[in-house]
Structure 1
Amino acid sequence: MTLSFQQYINTLSDDTHIQALTGIGRGIEREGLRVLSQGRLSEHDHYHNLGAALTHPNITTDYSECLLEFITPVSHSPEEAIAQLRDTQKFTLSQINDELIWPMSMPCFVDDDDKIVLAKFGNSNVGKMKTVYRQGLKNRYGSMMQVIAGIHFNFSFSDSFWQTLKVIDDNHDEMQDYVSARYFSLLRNYKRYCWLIPYLYGSSPAICPSFLQNKATTLPFKKSKSGYLYLEHATSLRMSDLGYTNSEQSSLHICYNNLEGYLNGVKEAINIKSEEFEKIGIKVDGKYQQLNSNVLQIENELYAPIRPKQVANSGEKPSQALQSRGVQYIEVRALDVNPFADTGIDQQQIYFLDIFLTFCALMESPTLDCDKQNICEENMDEVVVRGRDPQLLLSDEGIEKSIETWGGELFYDMEKVARLLDKAYQCDKYSEAIAIEKAKLTDSSLTPSAKILAIVVEKEQSLTQFALAKAKSYRAETLKNDYQYYSQQYFIDQAEISHQKQAEIEQEDKVDFDTFIHEYFKEV
């Protein structure tokens, strides 16, 4: 038995249940390009003093040697998560000479994507596989798409929350099955309402012309007097066809109705051959060009605005971890880097995401067939390219609604969640966050995307100079401030430990790389 949204609100408000809402876990993965003072990509390898990208718990690389990724552990307060991220950036900035961390999602000026050096992870089979995977991404989609930066927000409820909800639901399933099913309920509602995320937080409505590399696009770009391409009502070009999309994946039907169906969809996807990718070849002239010619080389290549996750053990694939131990947390992947925050995400955003994801967990969540899921994705596609268009209408179960109307309906219920979380945490920060975000529904000029276009179009300023000024300011401020959570010695120690771990992994290899790859995919 599941209750209505209002019944959950009423029941959880009771003093005997309210504490179950505390203990929300959050982790942040922030990507950021290393750039030189004039705005070009750094061509310097990942700095040795930062540690080994393969094994460091906090500092690694994503696609390229110059695309840093900062990772925070699970934290139970937004303030702590931001402090961890800021400390990680402080140490990094102290070790990369005078280089800067680009404060935006879309990359700076790049004159040749062949200069974007693939991330290196050492000589172990695992490390080589990670690099070959990136070689495959380059050959499939080009390097420009892969140096787009984003924020991944990892979110989990406490064990106490699920135990309490299970009692409220009078549910007698195994706990692991119950939790997974409830997380998938959250995922479906996220799919329904995630258009809100790029509307509220999208900050990539304009790009440097070099990003297109003279390739044709169907998007109706305008050009600012300062020379930048933009869409008048866009919110997040990062989430558009220019960014994290894969046309080869459009034929995949991965549904979010339950864990078993999701895993079957993923397993099927990683075994579908692609005629287009087969033309690339796998091993050409003795050098790997991709891991295989399937639509997905590995599970990580599945582009999605949200993912169910379980911490994987060494050598374990993500789907195997989910199959064995169920859903542990969810990963929100639709967030642009916030150029107005030194850490790319601020505390207020985290408070709002707490509200939004709790709302998604408590709201009724019917199953989604492929047609309905496609409509959800179409809503998202519309918002990323024209979310601030006053004429835009989205489809809510076949009913056309403006963002202001539909958003108002959602915020009416999310305000109830905000009050519930304020009561649980004995604060007013959730109500403050929801009020700030709600104002964007009636005044789109308050959105980050509108603020960026005001700078580039109305003020006719250089987007590059704006970003560089922010990057330099953030660098100076970060280096000036003291460590808040970690210490300099912590990062020095972790760097040394990570190099030792990488060396141990390399020494433990017993087979050659060809055999390793064969064995890896034999299990798939």
Structure 2
Amino acid sequence: MSDQLQRSLDALADPDSTHLLAGIQRGIEKESLRLNEEGKLAQTPHTRGLGSALTHDFITTDYSEALLEFITPVDTNIQSGLETLADIHTFTYQKLDDETLWCASMPCIVNGDEGIPVAEYGSSNVATMKKVYRLGLGHRYGRIMQTIAGIHYNFSMPEAFWDKCWEADGRQGERQDYITERYLGLIRNFKRHSWLLIYLFGASPAVCASFLRGNTDHDLQPFDGDARSLHMPYGTSLRMGDLGYNSSAQKDLTVCYNSLDRYVTTLRSAIMQPHADYAEFPSGQDGNYEQLNDSLLQIENEFYSPIRPKRVARSGETPLGALRRGGIEYIEVRCVDVNPFTPLGLDGEQIRFLDTFLLYCLLADSPDCDEADLARQTANMQAVVTRGREPGLNLQAAEGEQALTAMGQSLLQAMKPVAKLLDAANHESGYCNAVLDQRAKIDDPELTPSARILREMREKDLPFFRLAMAYSQEWAQHFRRRQLSTETQARFNDETQRSLTAQAELEAATDTESFTDYLNQFYDQYNHL
């Protein structure tokens, strides 16, 4: 155990400090495709019964009109956060008629790019910007990639925790700079160890053949005789590999988390400098917008990363501008697959493990990254995505190759004291149990969700689509039977109406400014970062 980790654990073991860990702040963003009765991607518009996708606090859409995104408010209690997510599902099912929410990360039956409607947000400038950004993504990467769903897990430590840490470290420098540096350390460690999350929770080892129709540039194998499903025999999370949220154009974009200034400068350059491959798509010529710009990145969100530093932006402010203004406020974990075996796509045990993992990454030594470190991270992620359950698989470590099983068990062993502190802070034993359950997955890969998916496909003689459809229908019945309290029902009804009114007000205000002027003012902010 490192000296820094031991010092941190000793400090937090003090009775006056342990309780601070009960204040971890979490938020969940969960995506789900809407399906019609045949199990195909819904072609219907976002229902008015769910309010405005532009302004609703809890229910929006991501790339496609059919890709719902559910957002929970920041919460310090795991159970109440999950209850809120369940309430959002329940309310949504009240409005879906005969449609169903898809329960997996890799999509249902899709009919090529032409069968994937891009999300609509109205006629305001901010709505137009969201639509044009998505049109640009479709041109650059294909619309079909944008139907892949995931879960984003937002995590931050309470202010009182930072007060204690800053004080213990001698109050050196500005408090917010100290917090930012600690979160950057968390991110660097996360990047080193995130392969473990992919192994433990990856749940996308197979895809419906319709996802790859016309695409032969892959290494997937037919799962069944008539190739209705394709898979990687030892794969864990195809969503995190070359089929998913990766971009060949971004392969040479080296984003460094050694300093906030370096991070902001690198992404700003990618947003401001034209990229020849994208010049063919209109970006405002004669008023025609098929993308926001012709740079490597249209905006920061286009950078595909398993983790992001975040700060809540002010109205109209760029994400990079928010970070430059106030430093890192929280981090967003983006590598979590939707688990088809749970109604919500994740559960309390997984959240407890994520908290333990992230707190370990925060407390442990985190040296700056160099090129060799980045190369190991890339190699390990690729190996675990495609071959994570392969017997005898070795990963890259600074000391040379090591067995995945040995590296995994070593990491889990190092996390045990962190789990004990979290249990003590929350007066429970769930954190230690969550770590123990993950140790069993290291010992037996068949316990992982990715292995279970392939096993059930084989045992039930079902292609991926049929297996995921069966679970989707099971969870649909679960939420259709579930009742909301009177207060919760009223809260969602009120938010639906409020969001519609807010969208109408935005559209009325847009009459005074052209979209081109709006976009120019937005991008001008990057000149002053």
**TM-score by shorter chain over 0.5:** yes
Letter in 2 for 1:300: N
With normalisation by structure 2, the TM-score equals: 0.96
CA distance in 2, matches of 1:120, 1:75: 30
Residue aligning to 1:516? 518
CA distance in 1, matches of 2:207, 2:394: 25
1:376 aligns with 2:343: no
CA distance in 2, matches of 1:456, 1:285: 52
Q: Which consecutive residues of structure 1, in runs of 5 or more, have no partner in the other structure?
A: none
CA distance in 2, matches of 1:303, 1:33: 20
My pick for the range that moved more, 260-269 or 325-334, is 260-269
CA distance in 2, matches of 1:3, 1:267: 36
CA distance in 1, matches of 2:212, 2:329: 38
Residue aligning to 1:216? 216
Residue aligning to 1:329? 330
1:48 aligns with 2:28: no
* Other structure's SS at 1:37 match: coil
My pick for the range that moved more, 127-136 or 211-220, is 211-220
Query: Offset of 1:285 from its aligned partner?
Result: 7.2
Residue aligning to 2:164? 164
Query: Offset of 1:284 from its aligned partner?
Result: 6.5
Percent of aligned pairs with the same amino acid: 42
In the alignment, is the contact (CA less than 8 A) between 2:180 and 2:260 conserved in 1? yes
> C-alpha offsets along residues 56-84 of structure 1, whole Å, 9 cap, x if unaligned?
00000000110000000001111111100
Residue aligning to 2:8? 8
Q: State the Cα RMSD in Å.
A: 1.5
In the alignment, is the contact (CA less than 8 A) between 1:225 and 1:457 conserved in 2? no
CA distance in 2, matches of 1:486, 1:389: 50
* Other structure's SS at 2:406 match: helix
Residue aligning to 2:455? 454
CA distance in 2, matches of 1:127, 1:157: 33
Residue aligning to 1:505? 506
Query: Offset of 1:167 from its aligned partner?
Result: 2.2
In the alignment, is the contact (CA less than 8 A) between 1:224 and 1:230 conserved in 2? no
Residue aligning to 1:24? 24
CA distance in 1, matches of 2:278, 2:188: 31
> C-alpha offsets along residues 414-446 of structure 1, whole Å, 9 cap, x if unaligned?
111111111111111111111111110010000
Q: How does 1:270-285 map to 2 (within 5 A)?
A: 270-283=271-284
In the alignment, is the contact (CA less than 8 A) between 1:84 and 1:484 conserved in 2? no
CA distance in 2, matches of 1:350, 1:375: 27
1:195 aligns with 2:231: no
Q: Which consecutive residues of structure 2, in runs of 5 or more, have no partner in the other structure?
A: none
Letter in 1 for 2:155: F
CA distance in 1, matches of 2:432, 2:86: 25
* Other structure's SS at 1:16 match: helix
CA distance in 2, matches of 1:220, 1:230: 5
Letter in 1 for 2:518: F
1:463 aligns with 2:431: no
Number of residue equivalences? 523
My pick for the range that moved more, 480-489 or 47-56, is 480-489
Structure 1 residue runs of 4+, over 4 Å off? 283-286
CA distance in 1, matches of 2:274, 2:285: 18
Q: How does 1:53-68 map to 2 (within 5 A)?
A: 53-68=53-68
Residue aligning to 1:343? 344
Residue aligning to 1:114? 114
Letter in 2 for 1:282: S
> C-alpha offsets along residues 222-245 of structure 1, whole Å, 9 cap, x if unaligned?
332362100100000000100001
In the alignment, is the contact (CA less than 8 A) between 2:310 and 2:332 conserved in 1? yes
Residue aligning to 1:103? 103
Letter in 1 for 2:519: I
Letter in 1 for 2:374: Q
Query: Offset of 1:253 from its aligned partner?
Result: 1.8
Query: Offset of 1:168 from its aligned partner?
Result: 2.3
> C-alpha offsets along residues 108-146 of structure 1, whole Å, 9 cap, x if unaligned?
111232121110110001100100000000111111100
My pick for the range that moved more, 60-69 or 172-181, is 172-181
My pick for the range that moved more, 392-401 or 358-367, is 392-401
> C-alpha offsets along residues 145-185 of structure 1, whole Å, 9 cap, x if unaligned?
00100000000101111111122222322110010000001
CA distance in 1, matches of 2:375, 2:183: 20
* Other structure's SS at 1:17 match: helix
